[in-house]
Structure 1
Amino acid sequence: MEGSVSNVEVCNLAYTGQFEELKQCILSDKTLACKTDQDQRTALHWACSAGHTDIVQFLLDLGVEVNLQDDIALLLLENGADPNATDKLESTPLHRASAKGNYRLILLLLKQSASTNIQDSQGNTPLHLACDEERVEAAKLLVEHGASIYIENKEEKTPLQIAKGSLGNLLRRIVEG
């Protein structure tokens, strides 16, 4: 273990980009994917900080619990990750941040030119999700950055139709200027 960054082997493999070894390690014991080291960091943290997007993708595909925290997202974006990359449901970090109302992360993604109108497998844009969860500040921010209130999802509903009461009025006011 001389000269390693972490006391957990799988974290070191993630940091040094040893994808094959990491894959074998984790496939033989799935619990390693979520194991934290002495600093409470996981293999995902280490892969992000070193910019190993192949390992990051592998861990995300395994369904590693991502608490899409601002620092992980920032590390990924700083290391050239695509802010519009999608998961299995075709949703982007912006979809997830919007549903959770994570204002700081939404702002960060928008600064990195994340697309506000990408639709997931259900046809929802990040704005649909923000409206559905009544995330007023998130919805306002998205519309101010060009999110359309008129795109229909697969149920033929627009964000405006999903927005309840005062939120709908607020979004209409922003769009109409």
Structure 2
Amino acid sequence: MSELHEAAAAGNFDQVEELLTQNKSNANQKDVNWSNKTPLHWAAAKGHTDIVRILMEHGARPCLRTEHGWTPAHCAAESNQLAVLHLLHSVQAPIDLEDNYGDKPVRIAEIYGQKECVDFLKDAEVEARANRIMAAIRGITLDDTDEEWAQLREGKKRKKRDLEMM
């Protein structure tokens, strides 16, 4: 776990800010020892909205996924971090993507009994879909894809198909 991952998880705003402003850390670094979580995943899970905000101001991508396909929105939904979900939604972060098992953040919130998050996410999903449609119509590209994760997932699917054909 990098120093930035640790500071984000611990809620140490001053340290996160220092590491980011002095370009000592990569806000999008995936921790291979912790399921490819980024500092943003940790901050979202812990409910550190101020750290979520500063990470995104320094280029943290809320579309990046863990090895299981979780976005920071999944992490926030699991831990009942409604304020983080509001913040992610306000910056048009993808809050309705499915993980490796087909579960969206709203489903994760349902599983963990996070009723307020479920209620919010049901409405926010509709808005997120509408925003994607409007962006497509206007020719605006949204940052809603973790290219590295998508390539790995496609490679696994291809490998599985190849094995089934043998």
How would you bin the TM-score normalised by the shorter chain?
0.5 to 0.7
Structure 1 counterpart of 2:103: 124
Residue 97 of structure 1: aligned partner: 76
Compared CA separation, residues 58 and 84, structure 1 to 2 (3 A): closer
Could you give the per-residue CA deviations for residues 72-115 of structure 1, whole angstroms, max 9, x where no partner exists? 21111122322222122211000000111101000000001122
**Does the Cα contact within 8 Å between 1:98 and 1:127 map onto a contact in 2?**
yes
Percentage of matched positions with identical amino acids? 18
SS at match of 1:146: helix
| TM-score normalised by L of structure 1 | 0.52
1:10-159 equivalent positions in 2, closer than 5 A: 34=6, 46-47=18-19, 49-50=20-21, 55-58=26-29, 60-63=31-34, 66-68=42-44, 69-146=48-125
In the alignment, the residues of structure 2 paired with residue 51 and residue 110 of structure 1 have an alpha-carbon distance, to the nearest angstrom, of 28
Larger radius of gyration: 1
Query: RCO (CA 8 Å, sep 6+): is it higher in 1 or 2?
Result: 2
**Alpha-carbon distance in structure 2 between the residues aligned to 1:53 and 1:119:** 32
The structural deviation recorded for 1:116 is 2.7
Larger helix proportion of the pair: 2
The whole-number CA distance in structure 1 between the counterparts of 2:84 and 2:49 is 6
Structure 2 residue runs without a partner (length 5+): 128-166
Offset of residue 62 of structure 1? 4.1
Structure 1, gaps ≥5 residues long:
1-9, 15-32, 149-177
1:121–1:59 distance in 2 versus 1, CA, 3 Å:
closer
RMSD: 3.5
